[in-house]
Amino acid sequence: MNYQQTVDYLYSILPAFQKSGKKALRYNFENIVALCQELENPQNSFKCIHIAGTNGKGSSSHMLASVLQEAGYKTGLYTSPHLKDFRERFRINGKMIPKNYVTNFVKKLKPIIKQVQPSFFEVSVAIAFKYFADSEVDIAVIEVGLGGRLDSTNIIIPILSLITNIGFDHKEILGDTLEKIAYEKAGIIKPNIPVVISESIPETHSVFKNIAKERNALLFFAEDSFQVIGSINNKKTTSYLVNNFKTQEIREIKLDLNGKYQSKNLIGVLKCIDTLNYNNNFNISTAAIKNGLKNVVHNTGLKGRWQVLSYEPLTVCDTGHNEHAFKYLSEKIMQFKSGKVHLILGFVKDKDVASFIKSINSEINIVFCIINTVRGMSIDDYRSLANIIGRNVNIYSNVNHAISEIQVSAEPQDFIFVGGSTYLVAEINNL
């Protein structure tokens, strides 16, 4: 099999969350443990950082990887899902895993895959662990897939854990309160291993404190060490003024990931770097931090985080896909007052989006898009949603058709936003 045939094979025989939703999840470690034992437990042969959170874990993973790379460390990065190419999930110093590594891995592991019948995600995690071990990385940044406590990545013993934030998402899986969701995310906290919290809220503060205390883990709330006191948005970067409480120094940091929500991710990443230097004997210089954060997209190939698709009219996409993300996105969108705002949105069926859509200003133009996945909302779903929110809404069968049509009808000073689901953003051409 060639590379594409290999990926198609995996999709055809393995349950994937993208296609099957909750049915694809495994609520124990039996499969990933069996796979890793077959591979001689590669996850134990490299240092790693483990990252969980409702939102921001992908951005934070890429930010940390970029900084570590700039500091001279051979850095592995595992994230999910991918947008265009399965290999996006596995990178070393920004370069995707070779196609032949994927095909050879699957060819060799076919018997155990057939025997264990793991999920698509479990095989992905096993590939990442083996690839990073074979490549002898200095450090790997590992992003949780969903939750934390029972996620397949949680068989690693990291040198540092990061939990970005807690919000409502996947309530049917993780729980219907912020406390329950925090408990699941806090499952990545390991005995005697430091953990950083990027964004703290009253409902979850005690959850993290109690679990960290039980496991004798040093707990750091980023807001106790760093504060963003101002920001200036430019076309390609956002400049943040960051106050370091320990040194009493105010530093300007340029970040090439735009979006107001990145300020919360930023201080979590800075605290992680601080912890790596002072608790783990890393040597990450100020210059590495500066260059790493300014060049995240270039260094790691990150896509879909407030990414500009074109100008006049300004067209942006973002993979934020839950209530917590929409809150920040709405604030950012409302900054565009020079022209009309157009939202091109697509959702999966298990998202409760009516309340969010209902709160959008009636002057904003909204259109819906069908997503090419069985989990996506149907035309009837969108029509019901339009009735609930009391709007006449156009429904497109293809996101690229929607973008083209709205760009033609919009004025140069208008603003077009594309999002609502990672899967919708993945279908944008030339991303």
- CB count in 10 Å sphere of residue 98: 13
pLDDT digits over 260-315, tens only?
Answer: 779 999 999 999 999 999 999 999 999 999 999 999 999 999 998 889 999 999 99
Q: What is the mean pLDDT of the chain?
A: 91
Taking only the tens place, the pLDDT of each residue in 204-230 is 999 999 999 999 999 999 999 999 999
Do 198 and 208 contact (CB within 8 A), yes or no? no
Residue with tokens 């005697």: 192
Note down the domain range covering 366.
307-426
In one letter, which amino acid is 100?
Answer: N
pTM, entire model? 0.91
Q: Are residues 267 and 360 in the same domain?
A: no
Residue 264 in domain = yes
Q: How far apart are CA 184 and CA 38, in angstroms?
A: 28
Check if the beta carbon of residue 344 is closer than 8 Å to that of residue 370: no
Does 359 fall in a domain?
yes
Residue 295 lies in a domain: yes
For residue 343, what are the β-bridge partners? Answer: 366, 417
Query: CA quadruple 237, 417, 227, 223: dihedral positive or negative?
Result: negative
Name every residue whose Cβ is closer than 8 Å to that of residue 16 and which is 6 or more positions away in sequence: 24, 119, 120, 121
Q: What's 314's domain CATH number? A: 3.90.190.20
Domain shared by 270 and 323, yes or no: no
> Domain ends where: 300, 328, 363?
300
Give the amino acid at 112.
Answer: I
Tell whether 201 and 224 lie within a shared domain.
Answer: yes
C-alpha gyration radius of the chain:
21
CB 342 within 8 Å of CB 417: yes
Two tokens, residue 28: 């124990």
For residue range 60-112, list pLDDT tens digits in order.
Answer: 999 999 999 999 999 999 999 999 999 999 999 999 999 999 999 999 999 99
Give the span between the Cα atoms of 324 and 125, in whole angstroms: 26
Query: Are 191 and 237 contained in the same domain?
Result: yes
How far are the Cα atoms of 110, 120, 133 from residue 41, in angstroms, in the given order? 17, 19, 9
Q: Please state whether beta strands 365-369 and 341-345 pair in parallel, antiparallel, or not at all (unpaired).
A: parallel
Does 311 share its domain with 290? no
Judgement on whether residues 131 and 233 belong to the same structural domain of the protein: yes
Domain end call among 300, 329, 360: 300
Is residue 431 one of the residues assigned to a domain?
no
Question: Are 264 and 395 members of one domain?
Answer: no
For residue 190, tell me if it sits in a domain. Answer: yes
406 and 329 in a common domain: yes
**Across 172-193, average pLDDT:** 89
SS3 200: coil
Exposed/middle/buried for residue 346 (C-beta within 10 Å: 0-12, 13-18, 19+): buried
* Token digits of residue 378: 């149907």
**Do the domain assignments include residue 221?**
yes
Together in a domain, 265 and 335 = no
For 143, half-sphere exposure in the C-beta direction (CA atoms, 13 angstrom radius) is 28
Q: Verify that 116 and 230 share a domain, yes or no.
A: yes
CATH code of the domain containing 266: 3.40.1190.10
Q: Look at residues 42, 24, 20 and name the one whose alpha carbon lies nearest to residue 33.
A: 42
Asked if residue 347 and residue 290 are part of one domain, the reply reads no
Helix (H, G, I), strand (E, B) or coil at 111: helix
Query: Is residue 113 in a domain?
Result: yes
Which among 224, 216, 303, 237 has a CA at the least distance from the CA of 270? 224
The total number of residues shown for the chain amounts to: 431
Residue 42 burial class via C-beta count within 10 angstroms: exposed 0-12, middle 13-18, buried 19 and up: middle
Domain count, the chain: 2
Any domain includes 374 = yes
Percent above pLDDT 90 for the chain: 72
Chosen domain end from 300, 334, 356 = 300
pLDDT for the residue numbered 145: 92
> Is 26's pLDDT higher than 70?
no
29 and 169 fall within a common domain: yes
